[in-house]
Structure 1
Amino acid sequence: MSDNKISLVELIQIFGQYCNNIIINIKHLQEDYQRTGIKRIRGIRNENGELLQPWLTTEYIDNAEYVDMGEFQLSRNAATINMLIKRRVKLAKFEDQTPTIEVAGLLVNDLNAFNNYTIVSDGKINVKSLQVKISSKKVFDLLKQKGILDAEEFDFWAEYTIQLDNLPLVAANSSYSSIDGLFNELAEIKVLNSIMCAHLKNESDVFIETQLDEFKKHYLSKNTYINFPTTNEYTDIKQALVDGTIDSKLSYKIDIGSQDILNLSKFPSANKFLNRMYRLYDKETGEIIMNPSFEMVFNENLAVRHRLLSSRTKITKVDELMKPIFDDFLGLEQNGIVEGILKKVGADSLAQLLEDKQTGKQIGKEEMVAALTVANKKLEQYAENIYQDKISPLVFYIGCTGLLPEQMQAKAMTYDEAAAKYPNLQFSKNEQEGSFFAVGDSIISIYTKTEYYSKVLSASTDN
């Protein structure tokens, strides 16, 4: 085997490209798997702390030794890599295992459940090796060339062990592109995405309201994903720490922000911002609607205006970024910002509908929901591409090495230094203990956060 080993990140990229040619021994993966989060169990607890089970459960259809290789993702703000494995399941009654075949006119005897396995957790290997079979000689040759396999001949019957714990996590010569402007781009997408999600919370472009109600009764989301209620396996976290059921660890978080906004967690939800800065009112009576939400915007009898703010209201940089997007989307100001974002991500149909609506054209609810659904998926995919291509690899490098890449020359600042130099930044308690780096027009912050995890080894993966 070649001594010139590729990095784990490079191997993950190969896995992602050729995942259809590799299957994983799931039983081997589960044998010594250590959770990196708190184990959650199905059900809800009553007032006495007793666990009430859902009336339905799931059974694996593909209860086999091998499963398709999952989808790998680098965390957005930690040196963590997860593998999401899809498993085929069917619904059945919890009491007697009677199968549930159909819900609201939809066959549900072949659904998907998703298990998340953490391969690298906070810069440390969590899965030492994977046992796989390979169906493509091209992939076998590539992995052999990269020093990952030491077998001489390709054998599609053979099981290969791919060691992960002997690979460098990142390449020594890793290079990263500029992150200038990325935060503001992601912030605008996040705000618009939040507006759309608030519109679509109880809406579907496929199913009607009564069907969605039936889905909820059967623990299905509107996208027909399984969505059982879950709770922590413990009832008292202090007692769980004492008896060793769970333990705590310090997790390093790496966030990208601007010189005005430290990170994306500073943005409130769309409905919270709507309630703070706007008023919904009845067009005929003028009655103010208390606790407005974007779901109400579909009501043609309602209109929106700016809220009269008191002199005590402090306008932040977050407000200044969000308000033009809201104003444009709500038709209070035509500044072109929403159209620009939508066209950039390829959501031209929604951009046209919003333009038609502002000119007074009546747009049907179904047409608007369909356009919002398509646009929202495109927004989310555009943002995900930025993270996986440009931000997550950088975050992973910093989290693994504790250093910025060589090409990013920046001196570490304490909280006091950063707060004095950039007075618009707002810091949480955890963030105040961190270090901050000015890189171009961006601020990279590194801080620790206490996280808890279940200590027992377990084949179940609700982490």
Structure 2
Amino acid sequence: MDGDNMASNQISLLELIQIFAEYRNNIIINIKHLQEDYQRTSIKRIKGVRNENGELLQPWLQTEYIDNAEYVGMGKFQFNRNTATINMLVKRQVKLTKFEDQTPTLEVAGLMVNNLNSFNNYTIVSDGKINVKSLKIKISSKKAFDLLKEKGVVDAKDFDFNAEYSIQLDNLPLVAFDSCYSSIDGLFYQLAEIKVLASIIAAHLKKESNVFIAAQLDEFQKHYLSKNIYINFPTTNEYTDVNQALLNGTLDSRLSYKIEIGSQEILNLSKLHSANKFLNRMYRLYDKQTEEIIIKPSFEMVFNENLTVRHRLLSSRTKITKVDEFIKPIFDDFLGLEQNGIVVGILTKVGADSLAQLLEDKQTGKQISKEEMVAALTAANTKIEQYTEKIYQDKISPLVFYIGCTRLLPDKMEAKAMTAGEVAAKYPDLQFSKDEQKGTFFAVGDSIISIYAKTEYYSKLISVGIDNQIV
């Protein structure tokens, strides 16, 4: 992006997206126009699994759109958390039918499933580059029309709810030159604590539901439905050999620039271990009566009242990292091995009071039923997701988008660029992946901002079927 374009008085694409998001319930979009020439930015996945011979086995069910509409509701906009990418998630109503004869499936496990949703993901901006040149929309709100007209993206004189307006995206600057951004001091450790606890909660709930029993979950799985009643077909790549796909033009590659926020001890959130991996690394599950060690423990087993947990005796070869030192107090507190108040503090901050109270009751010896715990864990998981999303939406994603579009830090963030070698010499606890070793780093307050390139593959052919099911 050149400086003249950034400095123009035009509305930025980022501001336009914010207007769309605010008025999305008053805007419908021409889906057929969007799909015409749409270029994928990721690898196309097809429904099914491959057998040992590489043959594709189709699921026994499929989806069919209930509507064949030209217009659909404006999708929900999502900012990628570590690239300058904006996706629009469009919801469509579908029904399940048998693959062989298109017989509809109306009920599964006592639940009507004749009106499900699929979620189609369209990338509007990909790594700081426009991927959708224009959108054709209709507007039902005069207030939204007047605002878009004032910003210069609608050139009609009078509001007409029957009219179709063409909104050009490719002639707008991606970000405003004078954009202001919040301080990121302290955000990394706040997000890291929440991520560790979220991973613990998700591991508990992997096969649990606060609504359905196990037999119902099995039925959902047979019908390719998640426990949240989202469509969840098995998928595989449309090719069997990546090198052949690159040679014949099915796939192409591009450099994607990742922007990560970290600390002076932990480079980014991806360095944190998953809950079950850390449980295996630092703890042992035992049978209370026989003292038998449980091989490959997981948090799903913690619901078993006959099991107890202890610290693992570590060998002299085990290297304790800053990541381990950060995660361990959270685990110790959650598992009841140490009462340091970290977990209740996190839960109180995000508004998950029911789980906070249950954990405090459990530490005093009160018996908590599995049903109570699953319900509290499920509610806490929702609160954590909402809290985390707000931090990214308000403070991190706009900054990531700006850096990804301009390859610059905002003016008020004055910091000298460093190589991986330079930042490692200054902060020796940091660990780098192969791609990160080639990156550029900035020390901003108590945070480290990383910018590095990573090779990504995408399906080269234009395609109109962009089904990314949410699970």
Aligned match of 1:271: 276
Q: Which residue of 1 aligns with 2:413?
A: 408
SS at 1:457 equivalent: coil
Across the aligned residues of Structure 1 and Structure 2, the Cα RMSD in angstroms comes to 0.7
For 1:14-29, what aligned pairs fall within 5 Å after superposition? 14-29=19-34
Give the aligned partner of residue 119 of structure 2.
Answer: 114
When normalised by structure 1's length, the TM-score is 0.99
Distance (Å, rounded) in 2 between the aligned partners of 1:80 and 1:423? 32
2:414 maps to 1:446: no
**Counterpart residue type for residue 426 of structure 1:** Q
Residue 221 of structure 1 aligns with which residue?
226
Equivalent position of 1:105 in the other structure: 110
TM-score, normalised via structure 2 length? 0.97
**Aligned runs of 1:45-60 on 2, under 5 Å?**
45-60=50-65
Code of the residue aligned with 1:357 in structure 2: it is K
Structure 1 residue 212: deviation in Å?
0.1
Map of 1:194 onto structure 2: 199
In structure 1, the gaps of 5 or more residues are none
Identity %: 81
Could you tell me which amino acid in structure 2 is paired with residue 80 of structure 1?
A: T
Deviation at 1:462, TM superposition (A): 3.5
Mapped contact 1:255–1:446 kept (Cα < 8 A): yes
User: 1:167-223, CA deviations, whole angstroms, 9 ceiling, x for partnerless residues?
Assistant: 100001011010000000000000000000000000000000000000000000000
**Aligned partners of 1:62 and 1:287: how far apart in 2?**
57
| Alpha-carbon distance in structure 2 between the residues aligned to 1:96 and 1:430 | 49
* 2:266 paired residue number: 261
Query: Distance in 2 between the 1:107 and 1:5 partners?
Result: 49
In structure 1, C-alpha distance between the alignment counterparts of 2:45 and 2:317, rounded to whole Å:
43
- Residue 89 of structure 1: aligned partner: 94
Picking from 315, 322, 335, the partner of 2:320 is 315
Q: 1:361 aligns with which of 362, 366, 386?
A: 366
Q: Offset of 1:4 from its aligned partner?
A: 3.1
Render the CA deviation track for 1:405-443: whole Å, top value 9, x for unaligned. Answer: 000000000011011000000000000000000000000
> Are the equivalent residues in 2 in contact too, given 1:436–1:445 (CA < 8 A)?
yes
* Distance across 2 between alignment mates of 1:443 and 1:381: 25
* Alignment match, 1:398: 403
* Whole-Å separation in 2 of the counterparts to 1:199 and 1:367: 13
Letter in 1 for 2:269: L
Task: Return the letter of the residue paired with 2:342.
Answer: I
Listed as ranges, the matches of 1:373-384 within 5 Å are 373-384=378-389
**Equivalences for residues 55-454 of structure 1 within 5 A:** 55-454=60-459
In 2: Cα distance, 1:12 partner to 1:188 partner: 30
Letter in 2 for 1:202: K
How many positions carry a matched residue from both structures?
461
Q: What is the CA–CA distance in structure 2 between the aligned matches of 1:346 and 1:177, rounded to whole Å?
A: 23
Secondary structure, in 3 states, of the residue corresponding to 2:463? coil
Q: Deviations over 1:303-347 (max 9, x none)?
A: 001011111111111111100000000000000000000000000
Structure 1 runs, 4 residues or longer, greater than 4 Å off: none
Partners of 2:421 and 2:200 lie apart in 1 by 35
In structure 2, what is the Cα distance between the partners aligned to 1:341 and 1:269?
18
Deviation at 1:6, TM superposition (A): 0.8
Deviations along 1:260-300, one digit per CA (max 9) or x if unpaired, are 00001101110000011001001111111110000000000
Given the alignment, which residue of 2, 8, 16 partners 1:11?
16
Q: What is the SS of the residue equivalent to 1:289?
A: coil
- Is the CA contact 1:74–1:80 (under 8 Å) kept in the aligned structure 2? yes
Where structure 2 has 5 or more consecutive residues not aligned to the other structure, the ranges are 1-7
